Chain A
Amino acid sequence: MAITDYFPMLSGLLPKQLRPPAPRYATPSGSPVAGLVAEFGDVSSVCRAGESVRDAGYTKWDLHSPFPIHGAEQVMGMKRTKLPLAVGVIGLSAAGLGWLMQWWMSINYPIVVQGKPPHAWQPFVPIIFESGVLISAFAALIGMLSLNGLPRPHHPLFNHEPFLDASNDRFFIYIEALDPKFDPQKTRDLLTKGGASRVDLVEDL
């Protein structure tokens, strides 16, 4: 996920390696091709088509549905997220930092409360726990958003009128033109053969 996805106006300023690759295909009118979107009428047909897209080896594609489909991860061949490991490491580090913070504070500004020793570990525990939980929650939320490439204010699919039904009663498979296996004709044939009720070209801005 490149920064230019969010701020296209920056792409001119970036070094060449960081600029998004030039579109491989263009419509007759000259606008770049973002991808192909196929529409389906029900869960079982979109899942069957999804499996054929997965088996054909596509990597840059997505499945859209108005509601969560159990097993969609398997249909799309998605691996389990690494996020828990990151959250665990960050959470434990934050708990350790919470401890360090209190230890440092009790050295720099020792206060005797109720005759308790200034380095007693007992009052440290709730703050160690809370800092671990708080930072874990932040890490989970921010990590989930950034791994999903969110927030994303714009997407080429938004220009495609029929896609609005993805929040109503239609199911979609969208394959990006950036996918190495993408081919205007072969990809269209694959989706049509998969049982799509319609397949449309999506233009970029």
Chain B
Amino acid sequence: MSAVTHTDRAVVRASHKSHPVVRWLRRNVPYVILVSYCVVVLVPIVWVMLASVKTRREVFLSPLGLPDSIQWQNYFNIFESGFQHYIWNSLVVTIGSVVPMVIVSIMAAYALARRVFIGRKTIYLLIVLTYAIPIHSILIPLYRIVDDFGMLNTYAGLILPHIAIGIPFSVVILYSFFLDFPEELEEAARLDGCSPWRILFSVVLPLSAPAVLSVVIFQTVSVWNEFLWASIATSGEERRLWTNGIMQFQGEYSSDWPKILAVVNLMMVPLLVIYVLAQKHFVRAFAGMGK
């Protein structure tokens, strides 16, 4: 019965074939919309890249034109002003935060997902509750605590809070991965006499690369791009990060756009290149919130 209706409708539809213009629109409007938006995304990025090798005059007079001659000088100027110092600090803080954060999160998530011990539910609940709290919601006491520990203007003062604030997200993602991990594999290893450590490091971890990579990518981008805590926890130049440095530059050389944009470009391009090369993993890392 319904099969007949389907065929009937298809026939009716085929006999009233839409106008060629309508069909052309239907096929091309999606492209027009998406491509226009891609242009909106790309223009500022390309503008930064071009402006970073232009003279000041060119940036203002022909924003999207090519430079007459490439001004590498803009990049040399950054390093003459000592920007490499900020980059170094950012590297130390990012690596120093992400590596331990991921290790302690793997350990905690595995135990919470797979082991039975007192307080397990309470700990997981606390972690879920703080999953999305922004740094400014605990900023004032956190500042005082870090000050009491004498850790203002130190790497530790930057790194330890970053690790802590990254733990809830990492644990939640890894926890849900470990819950779905085939228990039979661990069981087999256990019957073979493996210690729980061996099971984690030789059986579970090698098969957890996608989840771990997602967490590493997400947290590396977050910590590398972080600004608020970095500006509160440091006062002198000594331990400031690149996000502070760029704000400093914007204040000091406010009219020297090429110099500021050379900094933006220098910090933006490596991340964009890594993203394009590993975009499958980036998309999974960010959409992983949706999993």
A and B from one complex: no
Give the A-binding residues of B (Cβ under 8 A). Answer: none
Query: Interface on A for B, CB 8 Å cutoff?
Result: none
